[in-house]
Structure 1
Amino acid sequence: MSIRFKYILIGFSILIFFGFIVFEFCRPKSSLPLVAIANWGPHSSLDETVRGIKEGLEAKGFKENETISLKISSVNFDPSLIPQMISNLRAYRPKVMVALSTPVAQVLKNSEKEVPIVFASITDPVEGGLIHHSEKSHENVTGSSDQQDLELFLSFAKDLLPKAQTVGILYSTGEANDFALVNLMEKAAQKAGLKVVAVPVDQSRDIPQRMHSFKDKVDFIYVGTSGTIQPALPTIVAAADRMNIPVFNADSEAVRKNQVLGSFGVTYYQVGRNAATMIIQLLEGKKISEIPPLYPSLQDHHGVVSKKRAEQFGILNLKNSPNITIIE
């Protein structure tokens, strides 16, 4: 071995050594327990979930930057960025990791086997492969579902549209959550005496064309919390308006903006509060096997109706009630 080659090896070893020192120095550190939140993207329902988590933690004394650290990251609905986001969050050595939406939770579950995982804003965690039984955690995974009572929703919709016979629903072929929603809707519709027209969507850019499948076939359209379908709500509403079809949304924010006729669904803020309860239990040392998944109660549901949209569809004499709000 030449002297020159030895010097090269020594120099390379020194670089590796100092590189390790720099990495250790720069790697995020905190004396406070850290909760990492992996978010699917900016949307009112997910934003409300995050708000519920933060306020739920604070209500029990876990104040951000005082007794706990929070690190929130998002991929802006780009599934290709999920592994990188999770890798970055894991570098902070969190005590608990929170996954918002099925695509994020599925990747996190498959890549993290040690840190406790709390999912949130997921309709059917069993269908999504996150847990094996709806009432039990699995391995290092538990969470807070947003599974709404669709029988209550359809009753609400029929009160507004008593002549309705058929509901339309778009679903993403790439999301297990969406298949679960269609199954739940079909079961609820059968009990309500309604039919369902379910239209598959491979990619969000296909939605304008797929919306034509509802023309003259449905009396109203329901838009769920799908990571593919929900962000395209403005496109769905524009197409539905051209066909004079009312739209109901899972999230009430669109109703408050007079985008859609109504919403009767889960309060996402409460979904976040439920998740916060589980995070606190984990931070206090409770085993994840002792923390079953949580599902929305009847009290977690609330109806909202847009008066402007109601008048558009000839719906008059709207009345407020304890669990229904009319938006003027």
Structure 2
Amino acid sequence: MRRVSVVMALFVLALFALAGCSQETKQESVQQKTEQASPDKKVKVGVTQIVEHPALDSIRKGIIDQLADEGFKDGQTMQLEYLNAQNDMNNVMTIAQQLAADKKDIIIPITTPSAQAVAQQAKGIPVVFSAVTDPVAAKIVRALDKPGKYITGTSDVSPMDKQVQLVKEFVPSLTKLGVIYNTGEVNAEVQVGMIEKAAQALGVKVEKAGVSNSNEVKQRAESIVGKVDAILIPVDNTVVSSFEALLTVAKASKIPVFASDSDTVKRGAVATYGIDYYKLGRQTGVMAARVLKGEKPDTMPVETLKDVQLVMNEAAVKDFGLSVPDKLKAEASVSK
């Protein structure tokens, strides 16, 4: 009898143990369902650009505004980290390493140098770049239609043939065109090649003035005084960030300056056939949102902003003693 009683007691204890396990399993299941039902964690977005100037800042604003419209609002559904390299290539690489180490859900580099660094460091992290003039030449993507497994973005390539023709319209006597650019940036080198080809077709010689940093811009502008009839600035972050220094030299020497972006025209260049950099940022933001929502970058070809607009600065036209050609008056958007 005692043996039966012991067996019964062990059986009862086993039942209680099973009941406890069952209860714990139910509690774990409830906990898992609760966790699954909780709001999603904020997506981690890293944005970096090589330097601050109006065109690049407009891109960044467009990206952030578009992401917010797509449901990714900073501080609510998105944790945004913005880092600026202050035009220092050492900083560019350090920032890329930092963003990659932080395991961002997506990294959005603005400009070619930032995109090159991020592409090297962010292995396995989706990347959507912006304002990369020629991403193939810069070896950021393999091809525009099939960019790469984790990377795509937008290009800010400018129609240099139209830019050179525009300078010729304002300066009919143009025979020598000065171009100041960063010799260390692939995108600048590509644009200079396009300018030379377009200038040659018009019988215009190009006087190149290369710089390696923004501190050299004023000096190199002074070096071409008396040698050129006008200056054209490509989409070059080093030169654009020091535009005021260049403009001081140009005004003193009465050498009209033309740009490749509308923001630099607002700052004192005569005119450009430029893209709207805020719109380019918006377009980049759309692509970034698609990636955050599950699309793969390798299915998204590199995009460009097709529309260019003639923008003129009336004050600059007067400062340089120019007049607006009749054929351009109706076409231009005027910045005073």
Same fold (TM over 0.5): yes
Within the candidate set 36, 42, 65, 2:75 is matched to 65
Aligned to 1:140: 150
- 2:322 aligned with 1:315: yes
What is the identity, as a one-letter code, of the residue corresponding to 1:163? S
Aligned to 1:255: 265
Q: CA deviation at 1:185?
A: 1.3
- 2:179 aligned with 1:197: no
Q: CA deviation at 1:192?
A: 4.1
Q: CA deviation at 1:252?
A: 2.3
Kindly report the root-mean-square deviation, in angstroms, between the aligned alpha carbons of the 2 structures. 2.2
Moved over 6 A (4+): none
- 5+ residue gaps, structure 1, are 1-29
- 2:298 aligned with 1:289: yes
Describe the shift of the 1:59–1:181 C-alpha distance in structure 2 as closer, same or farther (beyond 3 A): same
Q: CA deviation at 1:93?
A: 2.7
> How far apart, CA to CA, are the structure 2 residues paired with 1:128 and 1:323?
34
Aligned to 1:324: 332
> How far apart, CA to CA, are the structure 2 residues paired with 1:134 and 1:76?
29
Instruction: Check whether the contact 2:182–2:213 (CA below 8 A) recurs between aligned residues.
Output: yes
Identity %: 27
Instruction: Check whether the contact 2:155–2:303 (CA below 8 A) recurs between aligned residues.
Output: yes
Aligned to 2:42: 32
Q: CA deviation at 1:233?
A: 1.0
| TM superposition score normalised by structure 1 | 0.82
Instruction: Check whether the contact 1:223–1:233 (CA below 8 A) recurs between aligned residues.
Output: no
What is the identity, as a one-letter code, of the residue corresponding to 1:37? V
Which structure would you say has the larger Rg? 2
Within the candidate set 156, 161, 164, 1:154 is matched to 164
SS at match of 1:110: helix
Alpha-carbon displacement from aligned partner over 1:123-153 (angstroms, at most 9, x marks no partner) = 1111211112233212322111110111222
Alpha-carbon displacement from aligned partner over 1:156-199 (angstroms, at most 9, x marks no partner) = 32332222233211122221121111112122223444332222
Describe the shift of the 1:133–1:282 C-alpha distance in structure 2 as closer, same or farther (beyond 3 A): same
Instruction: Check whether the contact 2:312–2:335 (CA below 8 A) recurs between aligned residues.
Output: yes
Alpha-carbon displacement from aligned partner over 1:2-24 (angstroms, at most 9, x marks no partner) = xxxxxxxxxxxxxxxxxxxxxxx
> How far apart, CA to CA, are the structure 1 residues paired with 2:322 and 2:206?
22
Describe the shift of the 1:316–1:228 C-alpha distance in structure 2 as closer, same or farther (beyond 3 A): closer
> How far apart, CA to CA, are the structure 2 residues paired with 1:144 and 1:321?
31
What is the identity, as a one-letter code, of the residue corresponding to 1:326? V
> How far apart, CA to CA, are the structure 2 residues paired with 1:323 and 1:141?
37
- 2:172 aligned with 1:165: no
- 2:59 aligned with 1:49: yes
What is the identity, as a one-letter code, of the residue corresponding to 1:241? K
Aligned to 2:282: 273
| TM superposition score normalised by structure 2 | 0.80
What is the identity, as a one-letter code, of the residue corresponding to 1:102? T
Q: CA deviation at 1:323?
A: 5.1
Within the candidate set 73, 80, 86, 1:76 is matched to 86
> How far apart, CA to CA, are the structure 2 residues paired with 1:109 and 1:63?
25
Q: CA deviation at 1:89?
A: 2.7
Alpha-carbon displacement from aligned partner over 1:8-67 (angstroms, at most 9, x marks no partner) = xxxxxxxxxxxxxxxxxxxxxx81112210121221011100111122223333333333
Aligned to 1:226: 236
- 5+ residue gaps, structure 2, are 1-39
> How far apart, CA to CA, are the structure 2 residues paired with 1:56 and 1:158?
38
- The number of aligned residues is 296
Aligned to 1:123: 133
SS at match of 2:301: coil
What is the identity, as a one-letter code, of the residue corresponding to 1:284? K
Describe the shift of the 1:56–1:260 C-alpha distance in structure 2 as closer, same or farther (beyond 3 A): same
> How far apart, CA to CA, are the structure 1 residues paired with 2:62 and 2:97?
25
SS at match of 1:218: coil
Describe the shift of the 1:317–1:196 C-alpha distance in structure 2 as closer, same or farther (beyond 3 A): closer
